[in-house]
Amino acid sequence: MGVTDRIEAFILELMKQDDDEWLTIQRNELADIFGCVPSQINYVISTRFSPERGYVVESRRGGGGCVRIKHIPSVGTEEELSEDEALIEIARLLSAGYTDRAGAELMKAAVCDELLSDVHGAGKVRASILNNMKKASVKNRR
């Protein structure tokens, strides 16, 4: 098993053990544990913990480089979605070529919390909007 696989396995194990919604790690500390450079950690995070794989990653520079990772399972066609879940699905549609960057930005605007904050049952409305957009995206790709 290569260092990339070991780093991924280590992060996944930390996520299993952590009760918090977000796992917070320091790039430099992880690099020290595995005897590699922090850019190797960046590589693992960007390739193995991508939106297409169901992860949201927040990265902060400086002070060792804090990284926060959250896993959101694939949502498919759902009855209710949070904004984070909708953004993950939009990222998956973009990476799979079902939409372009402009289409993805329009989708994000249509399902954002800011727009739906005063709507009763916003999660259900968001899911309905995104499910219809997904159907149209798949239909237009054929």
What tens digit of pLDDT does each residue of 81-139 get? 999 989 988 887 887 777 899 999 999 999 999 999 899 999 999 999 998 888 777 66
Q: What's the rounded Cα separation, in Å, for the pair 107 and 71?
A: 21
Matching residue, tokens 């450079």: 37
The percent of residues in the chain predicted with pLDDT above 90, rounded, is 45
- Assess contact for 60 and 66: CB atoms under 8 A: yes
Q: What's the rounded Cα separation, in Å, for the pair 39 and 109?
A: 33
Q: Which pLDDT belongs to residue 19?
A: 80
- 26 three-class SS: strand
Sheet with 66-71, side-by-side order of all strands = 23-26, 66-71, 55-60
Q: Which pLDDT belongs to residue 102?
A: 94
